A and B are shown apart, each in its own frame.
Chain A
Amino acid sequence: MATKPHIRELLAESACEHNQPKKTACNAPIPGATTGGCAFEGAQIALFPFADAAHLVHGPITCLGASWETRATPTSWPARDLTQVGLTTDTCLNDVVFGGEEKLAVAIDQTITRYHPQALFVYATCVTALIGDDIDKACREAAARHGIPCVPVHAPGFVGSKNLGSRLGGEAILTHLIGTLEPEVTTPFDINLIGEYNVTGDMWQYSPLLEELGIRILSTLSGDGRIAAIRTAHRAKLNVIVCAKSLVSITRKMQDKYGIPWISLSFYGQRDTSAGLLAIADALGDPALIERTQALVAREEAKLGEQLAPYRELFAGKKAVLNTGGNKTWSIAAALQDLGIEVVATAVRKATEDDRAKAREYLGEHGVLMMDPGAEQAKLIDEKGAHILLAGGRSLYTAIKKGIAFIDVNQEKKISYGAYAGLLNLAEDLRHALESPVFSLAGRRAPWNR
């Protein structure tokens, strides 16, 4: 079976927001002016959360050596958490000259005998793709030898961005795993969560609510994911994409192939969480379920409202400037607003058209969408009298100079801001930042600088 996905075809997916009107240029990074991760990283983000599968990276040391154990995607898998086991063939000069297939075959055997995974993913990277190592063959033969699914992932870094890589990772799942096993039971309320990676336990903030409503998470791609579950994903009644446009192509194909409808939503902030839960119930279409969901949403909102009351008092009149990228441009803005903080500006330089429209919707006509945040944010802090700046580490000094509080939103977060309960975590972090003495102390003038 030829498993190399057709990159052009994937790029042409209408789901690639900035695809039209130009065809491929949107994905070509600019030499000397590029910051994002590569396609391999995207595949890693999408697939590594399967903790019951081994993830073998076929390439030189940079690809895995610098990247394993970097993302906190907790799992309830009771055996060894293979997400956090770094495995690589560590391609050396010899392999580059003579080919790395033999070494790969041995590495696969050693991985499987050592860890007994439920499946094995083999990731191509730039060097091994360039020298033409045949990972399809390696996987096919290994699957026959060991009797577990072995999935080749063709997302070497140089084919494109992180987003494309996530999509390629999803393609590999679709081609090799989905539909290869039947679930023991099915329910009318079986859903797949697509693109939810359970970073810092985000998914666990709302999965108990789904459970309470009688909605079953049949499988996930791939937060707290199980190989056995994703193999049965074709029997779900609904695909739910969580904050991950890059995987729309997968759900669309599943709709064509298995007739599964899909919706896309996010669980950031109170409004999105409530809307998300209701959207799932609506899509499943059961009147009793919809009623149950409405009641649950009302209950949770009331509970949260009570818990947030002291914070809202504290945050009354506070203004924030937000400088980040992607869906965070509006999702964090929405969460801040839920807490009663006015978001006076958000950066949209690195956002898609869709994200920009959403940002405009949330911020209203007076909110500023910054196209050049580096230059604009300092001015806006003064003009609008902002009290806090939420941005990447590079902007810290701006906040210090202005003597206002700062939160690094691009840092790997340690706790979840997801769903209702996560909003409390965010509120607590904001309170901390706003009350902390460090920002004005750090900006204090030295005694010799009169």
Chain B
Amino acid sequence: MEQVKTRSRHKSSRSLQINPFKLSAPMGATLAFLGVHQCMPLMHGGQGCASFTKVFYTRHFAEPIALQTTAVTDVTAILDGGDYSISESVKNIVNKVTPQLIGLYTTGLTETKGDDVSGIAKRMEVPLVYVNTPDYEGGLEQGWSAACSAMIRQLTAPADSIDNNCLVLLPHVSLTPLEVEKIVDFMTAFGFNVVTLPDLSSSLDGHLGEKQAALSSGGIRVEHIRDLAQAGLVVSVGASMIPCAHELQKKNPQIRHHHFPHLAGLVATDELIKTLLDETGFHAPPLPVGRWRDRLRDALLDCHFALGKTRFILTGEPDMLAALCAIISEAGGKIAAVIAATDSSALDDLKADRVIVGDLGDVEDLAAADFDLIIGGTHVEALADRLGKGMLLRGFPNWEQLGNQLVHDCLYEGGAYFLCEMANVITRHQHHSGQR
């Protein structure tokens, strides 16, 4: 039963990325700022980076996306240290709208020319958070978590007392808006007052409202970010979010920190419940939780036949991969390879034959016989079709399917849905490819 634990992971030895699903740090920062109410993300770089990012997320979420750029040109790149383009941008933004926050973040271009954004930011007379996110370092998770840490560092007021009823949730970037909402509801059922940073559950959840995309709508309020340090505990989900929790503890060392690498599957959800029971002193969780646990246990038994005979390749952001890896192996699925966009401690000790930091070129290099099904974003579709493999679309980007913000794979409930969906995909694929 037990699969070999990977000893180490390796990086692709190529000098180029082939069919990459890696996404840049500024793109991660963009999303983090979209999880703040009435925020204007402002990308400091050439106009194209923001334009690509906007189109990318508009297609993924099927929602208008608020985003501006400092539009650095070859002329300003040389003559301006950032002062001009940033202050002009801020001026032009506040001329049209009244953001509660401007989220300013850099790109490779402006980091290469060495703009001092922290100095410039301090001179601005609007609520503004800045963060350094060169796109030649890290990726989506790092950008998201760096922006989150920056908001805590620059906005949250230090505190010296705590409110034990108040819980701060720090979700990793790949949790969908609905998953975040489900986790919040789950914790709320234990009596906590939950505040989420960043909070996409009310901003990019695909609700119909009077959105002009001039600013983000929904998300955590700036005044709530200011008050975060009064919480009794902070829960980080995903390895990328640990630094953010530490940042918050610096504002108030009394805050207790609980970390979960992910919240997928039976074991991880059990762990979360243990923690919540310990924290509240309750003896048992609210009733519906138990019923969902029974449904997940039933799903494990129903689905193990399909999953157990399937060899998977998982691609995407590390924290999402840790989650997928856990729930698939709980149902007995064999993971031939995990291919991550960037390196992360989330990749330590995964139950997979290989762990690679790479791209879809690495999948092409694996023997076709090595796997049956691939999980990843839109880009895996062409590959799965060409190789005649099964596929399930998860992660960024998913431009082909609607309802990405409503996908829910975590906790007992999401786990049960996920396993059934997975088993159905496998069965249908076997049917079409003539295997039984």
Show the binding face of A for B, using Cβ within 8 Å: 28-41, 56, 59-70, 84-93, 95-96, 103-104, 106-107, 110-111, 114, 126-127, 129-131, 156-161, 374, 393-394, 397, 400, 412, 442
Alpha-carbon distance between A30 and B163 when the two chains are bound, in angstroms: 46
Check B109–A32 contact: CB distance below 8 A: no
B436 at the interface (CB under 8 A from A): no
Given A68-B19, A92-B137, A96-B112: A62 in contact with B26 (beta carbons within 8 A): yes
Contact of B72 among A62, A95, A158, A394 (CB under 8 A): A158
B287 at the interface (CB under 8 A from A): no
CB-CB nearest 5 A-B residue pairs: A38-B48, A32-B89, A32-B92, A107-B16, A157-B48
Check B212–A394 contact: CB distance below 8 A: yes
Check B108–A127 contact: CB distance below 8 A: yes
Q: B20 to chain A: which residues have CB within 8 Å?
A: 61, 64-65, 68, 86, 88, 90
Q: B54 to chain A: which residues have CB within 8 Å?
A: 35
Alpha-carbon distance between A356 and B62 when the two chains are bound, in angstroms: 30
Check B47–A130 contact: CB distance below 8 A: no
Check B47–A36 contact: CB distance below 8 A: yes
Alpha-carbon distance between A393 and B61 when the two chains are bound, in angstroms: 12
Check A31–B378 contact: CB distance below 8 A: no
Check B46–A32 contact: CB distance below 8 A: no
Given A34-B68, A41-B52, A159-B74: A87 in contact with B16 (beta carbons within 8 A): yes
B291 at the interface (CB under 8 A from A): no
Check A31–B379 contact: CB distance below 8 A: no
Check A93–B136 contact: CB distance below 8 A: yes
Check B59–A85 contact: CB distance below 8 A: no
Contact of B136 among A60, A70, A85, A160 (CB under 8 A): A60
Given A38-B48, A84-B382: A111 in contact with B16 (beta carbons within 8 A): yes
Q: A34 to chain B: which residues have CB within 8 Å?
A: 47, 50, 68-69, 71
Alpha-carbon distance between A226 and B325 when the two chains are bound, in angstroms: 43
Alpha-carbon distance between A124 and B32 when the two chains are bound, in angstroms: 29
Check B109–A126 contact: CB distance below 8 A: yes
Alpha-carbon distance between A30 and B89 when the two chains are bound, in angstroms: 8
B1-38 with Cβ < 8 A to chain A: 14-24, 26-27
Check A70–B55 contact: CB distance below 8 A: yes
Of listed B69, B96, B209, residue having the most chain A CB within 10 A: B69
Check B210–A397 contact: CB distance below 8 A: yes
Question: How many A-B pairs fall under 8 Å by CB?
Answer: 209
Query: B317 to chain A: closest CB distance in Å?
Result: 13
B309 at the interface (CB under 8 A from A): no
Contact of B48 among A37, A68, A130, A412 (CB under 8 A): A37
Query: A28 to chain B: closest CB distance in Å?
Result: 6
A sample of 12 more A-B contacts (CB under 8 A), given A31-B70, A62-B53, is: A38-B47, A40-B48, A62-B52, A66-B55, A86-B17, A87-B18, A89-B16, A92-B136, A126-B46, A126-B77, A130-B112, A161-B47
B401 at the interface (CB under 8 A from A): no
Q: Mark B136-167, 1 if CB is under 8 A from A, else 0.
A: 11010000000000000000000000000000
Check A156–B74 contact: CB distance below 8 A: yes
Check A130–B70 contact: CB distance below 8 A: no
B177 at the interface (CB under 8 A from A): no
Check A66–B378 contact: CB distance below 8 A: no
Check A37–B52 contact: CB distance below 8 A: yes
Given A38-B46, A158-B109: A32 in contact with B17 (beta carbons within 8 A): no
Given A29-B73, A32-B70, A96-B108: A66 in contact with B24 (beta carbons within 8 A): yes
Alpha-carbon distance between A330 and B49 when the two chains are bound, in angstroms: 29
Check A30–B92 contact: CB distance below 8 A: yes
Alpha-carbon distance between A95 and B89 when the two chains are bound, in angstroms: 30
Q: A103 to chain B: which residues have CB within 8 Å?
A: 15
Check A66–B53 contact: CB distance below 8 A: yes
Q: B208 to chain A: which residues have CB within 8 Å?
A: 397, 400, 442
Check B91–A157 contact: CB distance below 8 A: no
B45 at the interface (CB under 8 A from A): yes
B74-91 with Cβ < 8 A to chain A: 74-75, 77, 84-86, 88-91
B56 at the interface (CB under 8 A from A): yes
Alpha-carbon distance between A38 and B70 when the two chains are bound, in angstroms: 13
Q: A40 to chain B: which residues have CB within 8 Å?
A: 48
Check B52–A397 contact: CB distance below 8 A: no
Check B382–A69 contact: CB distance below 8 A: yes
Of listed B16, B70, B113, residue having the most chain A CB within 10 A: B16
B100-153 with Cβ < 8 A to chain A: 107-109, 112-113, 134-137, 139
Check B19–A95 contact: CB distance below 8 A: no
B402 at the interface (CB under 8 A from A): no
CB nearest to B96 among chain A residues: A33
Contact of B379 among A33, A69, A442 (CB under 8 A): A69
Q: B113 to chain A: which residues have CB within 8 Å?
A: 130
CB nearest to B52 among chain A residues: A66
Check A91–B136 contact: CB distance below 8 A: yes
Alpha-carbon distance between A60 and B62 when the two chains are bound, in angstroms: 26
B93 at the interface (CB under 8 A from A): yes
CB nearest to A102 among chain B residues: B15
21 contacts between A and B (CB under 8 A): A29-B73, A31-B70, A31-B86, A34-B50, A37-B51, A37-B52, A39-B48, A60-B108, A62-B53, A62-B107, A67-B52, A88-B20, A90-B20, A96-B136, A103-B15, A110-B14, A126-B48, A130-B77, A130-B113, A157-B48, A400-B208
Check A32–B68 contact: CB distance below 8 A: yes
Of listed B63, B73, B89, B378, residue having the most chain A CB within 10 A: B73
Check B16–A62 contact: CB distance below 8 A: no
Contact of B112 among A33, A111, A114, A131 (CB under 8 A): A131
Query: B12 to chain A: closest CB distance in Å?
Result: 10
CB nearest to A161 among chain B residues: B47
Alpha-carbon distance between A30 and B72 when the two chains are bound, in angstroms: 9
Alpha-carbon distance between A161 and B137 when the two chains are bound, in angstroms: 26
Q: B51 to chain A: which residues have CB within 8 Å?
A: 35-38, 41
Q: A89 to chain B: which residues have CB within 8 Å?
A: 15-17
B277 at the interface (CB under 8 A from A): no
CB nearest to B40 among chain A residues: A32
CB nearest to A103 among chain B residues: B15
Of listed B51, B69, B112, B136, residue having the most chain A CB within 10 A: B136
Q: A110 to chain B: which residues have CB within 8 Å?
A: 14-16
Alpha-carbon distance between A127 and B135 when the two chains are bound, in angstroms: 10
Alpha-carbon distance between A157 and B74 when the two chains are bound, in angstroms: 9
